[in-house]
Amino acid sequence: MTVDFHELEQAAATLDEADPLHAYRSLFHGADDPGSDVVSYLDGNSLGRPTISATEAIAAAVAQWSGRLIRGWDEQWMDLPLTIGNRLGAVVLGAEAGQTTIGDSTTVLLYKLARGALAMRPARTEIVLDTDNFPTDRYVLEGIADELGLDLRWITVDPSSGVGLEAAREAISEHTALVVLSHVAYRSGFLADAEAITRCAHDAGALVLWDLCHSAGSVPIELDSWNVDFAVGCTYKYLNGGPGSPAFAYVAAEHLDSFRQPIQGWMGRRDPFEMGPGFVPADGIRRVVSGTPAILGMIAVQSTIDLIDRAGVRAVRAKSVQLTGYLIDLTRTLLPEVRIASPLDAERRGGHITLDHPAFRDVTPRLWARGVIPDFRAPQGLRLGPSPLSTSFAEALVGIRAIAEELGR
Ligand SMILES: Cc1ncc(COP(=O)(O)O)c(C=O)c1O
Ligand SMILES: Nc1c(O)cccc1C(=O)C[C@H](N)C(=O)O
């Protein structure tokens, strides 16, 4: 079959013109910068692009540091993790104020929340998780199971799919203390039915902890109305917080009084500057904090929350579905020998897809060298993660065309 690339380029341009979010692209550094060596950035689910407003916000934070020095803590910084948490809750997580905070890495928050949750179900013996959850989730839970003498109940998952409701229902039992799953699977992009699985866990008397790393900022989330107990997630992906920006943690209001986490630091104590004897947890979500929060690291996230608020989560999701659907269509046309290792049903697909081919391990560095940036996930997956606010259809086409060329088409 011969492919008319001119026609494909015209079609991509038409999609960009019709895209109600297209103007947001110009609010990101590098997206249309003629000096950039990147021609197709498809790794927004590993590290999002910086927003232009974040540069200004970070400069203002440094000026505040310079001018206010230590006074900045009393004036703003002590409350900032909770202030940003509330805003993230309202715009992205479907969470009322007072349940979300920013700090630590996802890995560390996962540990803190899982330990705290397990302490609330002391008579139960099992943690339910899946074989294809992100490595850090599996490793953290393996460590906790060793520490506490608990059993891990693994849901075996096809890496091109994810944890469906039936599989979750089979695994969850009267022995289950805690269920820990990813809302969007890091490899396939499978979008779990978080509401139904949460209900299923609760019916069995268990608690749930959702990893929202790949869903926050790309798919609608309603933690309060889904009755989720706990959640964690990254801010450097679709929330554009920057490399290593601190993660977020959500603890449902109903659990906050009884919740105790294992890293009892002074910043999570009631009246930390009293510096008194013994640990007394702070009221509310502040008790999730352990040490001094990374203030400069959390500044950029606010800029993206503002953009998502303006664009609307529904519009962000609609663009994301359109982008992944477009990548799937192009793959079928230009890469017929490649397997699509992600859900074809948009309802069950998050913001990224994975393509499978034995040549991808070798192809990936060649793509990076020519400014086309997806990422490689072993054993043979090429993961394409467009960002709804900054990726154009034209850019997606450039990426798939380059993959086709590298495969010798
Ligand atoms: C699903 C998921 N969970 C957890 C993590 C780990 O996050 P961190 O390295 O920031 O602790 C990541 C990404 O690295 C991820 O994709
Ligand atoms: N956190 C990352 C890093 O420090 C380096 C490279 C990639 C990452 C990622 O975020 C990977 C990502 N969580 C994934 O889903 O694979």
- Over residues 298-304, mean pLDDT: 98
Instruction: Name the 3-class secondary structure at 262.
Output: coil
Tens digit of pLDDT for each residue in 65-122? 999 999 999 999 999 999 999 999 999 999 999 999 999 999 999 999 999 999 999 9
Tens digit of pLDDT for each residue in 6-18? 999 999 999 999 9
Q: Which two three-digit tokens encode residue 257? A: 């009084």
Instruction: Name the 3-class secondary structure at 219.
Output: coil
Q: Which of 319, 383, 393, 401 is catalytic?
A: 383
Q: Which of 211, 250, 360, 376 is catalytic?
A: 211
Contact call for residues 224 and 198 (beta carbons, < 8 A): no
* Residue 112 bears catalytic tag: no
pLDDT of residue 34: 87
Determine if ligand 1 sits within 6 Å of the CB of residue 367: no
Report the separation in Å between the CA atom of 129 and the middle of ligand 2, taken as the mean of its atom positions. 20
Contact call for residues 225 and 197 (beta carbons, < 8 A): no
List of domains in the chain = 5-52+312-406 (3.90.1150.10), 78-308 (3.40.640.10)
Tell me phi and psi for residue 229, to 5 degrees. -85, -50
- Over residues 24-39, mean pLDDT: 94
pLDDT of residue 409: 80
pLDDT of residue 403: 98
Contact call for residues 12 and 306 (beta carbons, < 8 A): no
Contact call for residues 101 and 249 (beta carbons, < 8 A): yes
* Residue 137 bears catalytic tag: no
pLDDT of residue 147: 98
SS3 content of the chain, % helix, strand, coil (to 5): 45, 15, 40
Query: What is the spatial distance between Cα 39 and Cα 30, in angstroms, rounded to a whole number?
Result: 10
Tens digit of pLDDT for each residue in 228-257? 999 999 999 999 999 999 999 999 999 999
What 3 state SS string does 46-66 have? CCCCCEHHHHHHHHHHHHHHH
Determine if ligand 2 sits within 6 Å of the CB of residue 186: yes
pLDDT of residue 218: 98
Atom of ligand 1 nearest to the CA of 244: 10
Q: Among positive and negative, which fits the CA dihedral 369, 373, 375, 381? A: negative
* Residue 360 bears catalytic tag: no
* Residue 71 bears catalytic tag: no
pLDDT at 189 over 70: yes
Kindly report the number of other CB atoms within 10 A of residue 296's CB atom.
Answer: 13
Rounded to the nearest 10 degrees, how much is the dihedral formed by the CA atoms of 21, 27, 32, 37? -120
Atom of ligand 1 nearest to the CA of 182: 1
* Residue 237 bears catalytic tag: yes
pLDDT of residue 248: 99
Tens digit of pLDDT for each residue in 380-392? 999 999 999 999 9
With cut-offs at 50, 70 and 90, classify the pLDDT of residue 1: low
For every residue of 221-232, DSSP letters joined together read: --TTTTT--EEE
Which parts of 243-352 are beta strand (E)?
Answer: 248-251, 339-340
Instruction: Name the 3-class secondary structure at 127.
Output: strand
Q: Is 0.95 surpassed by the pTM of this model?
A: yes
Q: Report the DSSP beta bridge partners of residue 373.
A: 41
Q: Among positive and negative, which fits the CA dihedral 390, 393, 398, 402? A: positive
Report the separation in Å between the CA atom of 311 and the middle of ligand 1, taken as the mean of its atom positions. 26
